[in-house]
Structure 1
Amino acid sequence: MLFRLLQRFVGPRSWATPTVVIVFVFFTSWPLMALFESADSELVRPANYWWWFLVTTSTVGYGDFYPETTGGHTVGVYVIVGGIATLTTLFTHLATKLETARGKRMSGTATLHVSGHVLMLGYHSGRSERILDELLADGRHPVVLAAWDEVDRNPVPDRGIGFVRGDVSTDEVLRRAGVQRARSVLIDAHDDNEALAIAVTVDHVSPELAPVVALRDMSRAEHLRYVNSSIRCVQWHTPQMITEELLDPGITQVYAELVTHGGGEHLLVPAARLARTGDLRRVPGRSGQALRRNGTGRTHPERPVGQPGMGNPATRGQHAVLHRQATGLPGQDRPRDPRGGEGVTTSLRPLPAVGAALPARRNPSSNDPLLRS
């Protein structure tokens, strides 16, 4: 009856309910205990009663103080029942709060209190998991995923990331995801038009950020830079490069300069695969040595690069830029060797591993066979 009255006036989910109950039991049991116990009883003294009340309501029953009369025992039962009811109400209320908070996190309706994180705006099944795994493997920054309403629950609950759901082009959702405290932001939208709309909102909420935008049409990069000149645009179909740009800003520009240095057409190919063809030979290059295909199918007689079917240990596991400089414009005749080989020149330059710093100029006297002069 007491609990029903309290729930009606205080509220069934209020922290005040167990507090009011335990205070009521304490101040009603003490006079009753003093009434039934003898005047010289150690139990009813103020310095001792609160201790007895605490250990009794918690059902510990330490035993240093206890009532000796029948009336005192009855009051003790009243205190025990009040304590059990209070603890039950308290723990039930606590469990409800925890479950509600967990449900909000899973459904993406909670406001996250995180900073220095990487924020992913947009979710694509399979693709987003790959990016998330690479970000989490780096381990330097927490990750938050903000998805559209169509994703009703956290799609990766086992990753231990923050999750927010809603229209990611609105400032309300971005603020719940903590965009104003984020270290970096990835905009991975359904299409480039939506990416532009999200970029406008991100710039409005946090203009100091330089978002990474995954674009399907790189010609739209100019439009995005009207919003923020610091926006970094990456091809949508290169998730690994997107991850690198999020963790190490500017890495895509480094790669772009590597593959466009010197003009011409460049292709990224495995160096060991190129060496196994057996049609490359060493010639002087801008930075020491290069590999040139002479169109005859023969390698340099003094410095072979590789044998057919064998990989060169110096280039195994590396990548290279294959640079093709055409000797004529499309539609014009190109010089050809007597055996019908195309008149092209290829230069082989090793690239660093993804995320690694650019190598410094190496000593020409190094033991590396590719760098010997």
Structure 2
Amino acid sequence: MPFIIFRVAQRLTARAWRAPALVLLLAAVLGWALIAAFEKPDAEIRNPAHYLWYFFVSGTTTGYGDLYPETAGGRLGGAIVIVAGLTAGLMLFAELTLWMAKGRTMKANGLARLHHRRHLVIIGYERDGLRAIIGQLRADPEYAKTPVAAVFWPEQLSGENPDPELYDVVAFDDTAYDRVRLADARTVLVVGRNDDETVRVMLGVYAYLRRHGSPPAHLLAGVHDGGRRVEINEALALIGEDIEPVDVDDPAVVAVAIRNPGVAAIYHNLASTLDADSTLYRVDVPDGAGEWPRLELAIFLLRRGSTLLAVGESHRPNARFRLAALPDEVVRGGQSLAVVAADRPEIPWHEVA
């Protein structure tokens, strides 16, 4: 029996906060027993709810004086409460303060476990790019409050997180994916230091998600070298058919790809060729050629095998092009068109209705 009691006490006091907490509990019970035994039957302090209030204010040495024991035995119980509060209570408060400070330090250094859900996880840390991506995302109301967590390699971040108000950080180790709650993320973006590393890390991410049986997250692979894009795409397709490559060097493109799964390929294709058999062309509308509703002009071009992508304000080389159509927009001579077609289109302007 003494051995059992010793083992229980040892387990209770294994953590620094448990010993003062146990002392406070024993003081509360002993104080209540003495007050209940010696105070008058109708004494207000004997009421359990009132005693708890007395224990709190006396144990913290506040001492409002609204409740107090009047007998010698009751005062002995009160003294036990006060002494326990002055010693064990202060120790418990100090341990709580240290625990909170330790938790903050661990979170700032990427060692803590996060508690996010439906968040964005970026594996690979580059501060300027990360800040730019978050700045783009915050402009979208749907992503204005989406938590962001970055998993960093040991040499990528030294010291504490420099932007705790923007994102959390998690140091990469064997528990990193658990601590960042990868299985609960809405989007995972892998940004390796080169494209080969991106593929290797994505393989680990995909295996982790499969192992945890989570629904497939939106997976984005950051591509640096556009010249190897076909090769990288083929490697990623072998890992998972839903992995989406994105040109990671443009934060605006990355942010759009995060918010709109599937559109990253459009940005890449517009920068080179849209499809294997289509190209983006600029076509100037001759001055005085007439004017047409944008919708009618778009239909006319579609019937001739071309797609109207955007309308420019003038013939100038730096003319601003607008993709989104305005209500009842009219296209006039002197403007320019961005058109997708197999060959440079020759438009018979006189035939446009």
- Asked if these proteins are the same fold (TM beyond 0.5), I'd say yes
Q: Is the 8 A contact 1:282 1:289 kept in 2?
A: no
- Aligned pairs, number: 298
Q: Distance in 2 between matches of 1:194 and 1:122?
A: 10
Alignment of 1:112-123 (within 5 A): 112-123=114-125
| Deviation for aligned residue 1:252 | 2.5
The residue matched to 1:21 in structure 2 has which SS? Answer: helix
Name the amino acid aligned to 1:173.
Answer: A
Q: Is the 8 A contact 1:117 1:143 kept in 2?
A: yes
Is the Cα contact below 8 Å between 2:119 and 2:185 reproduced in 1?
yes
2:129 maps to: 127
Preserved contact between residue 105 and residue 163 of structure 1 (Cα < 8 Å):
yes
Q: Which residue in 2 is equivalent to 1:322?
A: none
Do 1:115 and 1:181's aligned partners in 2 also have CA atoms closer than 8 Å?
yes
Per-residue CA distance 1:107-156 (angstroms, 9 max, x = gap): 11122222211111101232222112223443523211111111234544
Residue number in structure 1 paired with 2:169: 163
- 2-structure distance, mates of 1:195, 1:262: 26
Assess, with a 3 A threshold, how the Cα gap between structure 1 residues 13 and 70 changes in structure 2: closer, same or farther: same
Tell me, yes or no, if structure 1 residue 66 matches structure 2 residue 38.
Answer: no
Q: What residue number does 1:145 align with?
A: 150
Distance in 2 of aligned mates of 1:286 and 1:65 = 85
Aligned to 1:351: 323
Return 5+ residue gaps in structure 2 as ranges.
1-8, 211-215, 303-312, 336-351
When Rg is computed on C-alpha atoms for both structures, the one with the higher figure is 1
Aligned position for 1:209? 217
* Greater relative contact order (CA < 8 Å, ≥ 6 in sequence): 2
Three-state SS of the structure 2 residue aligned to 1:260 is: coil
- Counterpart of 1:193 (choices 172, 188, 196) is 196
- Of 226, 236, 247, the residue aligned with 1:224 is 236
User: Match of 2:89?
Assistant: 87
In structure 2, how many angstroms separate the alpha carbons of the residues matched to 1:249 and 1:308? 34
* Aligned-residue offset at 1:77: 4.2
> Aligned to 1:163, what secondary structure does the other structure show?
strand
Computed over aligned residues only, the root mean square deviation of the Cα atoms, in angstroms, reads 4.2
**Residues 289-330 of structure 1: per-residue CA shift (max 9 Å, x gap):** 89xxxxxxxxxxxxxx85889x9xxxx7x42xxxxxxxxxxx
Q: How does 1:13-92 map to 2 (within 5 A)?
A: 13-29=15-31, 42=43, 45=46, 52-68=54-70, 76-92=78-94
Query: Equivalent residue for 1:260?
Result: 274
Task: Give the Cα separation in 2 of the matches to 1:281 and 1:289.
Answer: 19
For structure 1, the 5+ residue unaligned runs are: 1-6, 291-304, 320-349, 353-358
Higher helix share: 2
SS of 1:180's equivalent in the other structure is: helix
TM-score computed with the length of structure 2 as normaliser: 0.67
1:367 to partner: Cα distance: 4.3
The sequence identity of aligned pairs, in percent, is 23
* Aligned mates of 1:55, 1:250 — CA distance in 2: 61
CA pair 91-231 structure 1, distance change in 2 beyond 3 A: same
> Could you tell me how far apart the structure 1 residues matched to 2:256 and 2:41 are?
78
Given that residues 211 and 232 in structure 1 are in contact (C-alpha distance below 8 angstroms), is that contact kept between their aligned partners in structure 2? yes
| Structure 1 segment 200-349 matched on structure 2, within 5 A | 200-207=203-210, 208-215=216-223, 216=225, 217-219=228-230, 220-255=232-267, 260=274, 263=277, 266=280, 282=289, 287-288=299-300, 306=314, 318-319=320-321
2: CA distance, partners of 1:369 / 1:75: 94
In structure 2, what is the equivalent of residue 302 of structure 1?
none
CA deviation vs aligned residue, 1:205-247 (integer Å, no higher than 9, x gap):
1242342111123132111111111111122322211111111
| 1:221/1:76 CA distance change after superposition, 3 Å | same
- What is the CA deviation profile of residues 7-52 of structure 1, one whole-angstrom value per residue up to 9, with x for unaligned ones? 98854744432332123323444566689x6767837756565554
What is the TM-score normalised by the length of structure 1?
Answer: 0.64
| Distance in 2 separating the partners of 1:231 and 1:211 | 5
Pairwise CA distance, 1:197: 0.4
Pairing 1:98-113 to 2, within 5 Å after superposition = 98-113=100-115
User: 1:60 deviation in Å?
Assistant: 4.0
Contact kept, 8 Å, 1:42 with 1:65, in 2: the verdict is no
Q: Distance in 2 between matches of 1:56 and 1:114?
A: 40
